[in-house]
Amino acid sequence: MRSIILQTATRYLLPILLLFSFFLLLRGHYYPGGGFVGGLVASIAFVLHSFANGTEATMKILKRKPLSLIPIGLGISAISVVMPTFFGLPPMTGLWWEEKVPVIGMIGSALFFDLGVYLVVIGVVLTILFTISLTKD
């Protein structure tokens, strides 16, 4: 039996927590935060939705298995690490676009590395928790 109060609260909390996780992701290459912390907050949002509505309903929101986020995130992070070598620089050297983007600020390779970490963390946490949840049912 599911709590109507938790289901109603989750309907409002899910978008707020996802927006906050995205804020942490973007904030990370200037201040503390980044892909790991943002990914954990996004995972918490989906786990809360899973508690309120069931794992199957949360999987329908995600539209794909969380396991598929892991190689995508690893690929984005790997590309951001290797990209400086194409410009004759050592790997993991920060590359920055010269123009500032409104709201986001400067965009650089650190942001893409954080985005990859963000996707990997969401994929790992949700894969583990949803696997445990589905085997328990």
pTM for the whole thing?
0.90
Q: What is the 3-state secondary structure (H, E, C) of the chain?
A: CCCHHHHHHHHHHHHHHHHHHHHHHHHCCCCCCCHHHHHHHHHHHHHHHHHHHCHHHHHHHHCCCHHHHHHHHHHHHHHHHHHHHHHCCCCCCCCECCCCECCCECCEHHHHHHHHHHHHHHHHHHHHHHHHHHHHC
Per-residue tens of pLDDT for the chain, all 137 residues: 788 999 999 999 999 999 999 999 988 866 777 899 999 999 999 999 999 999 999 999 999 999 999 999 999 999 999 999 999 999 989 888 888 888 777 888 888 999 999 999 999 999 999 998 876 55
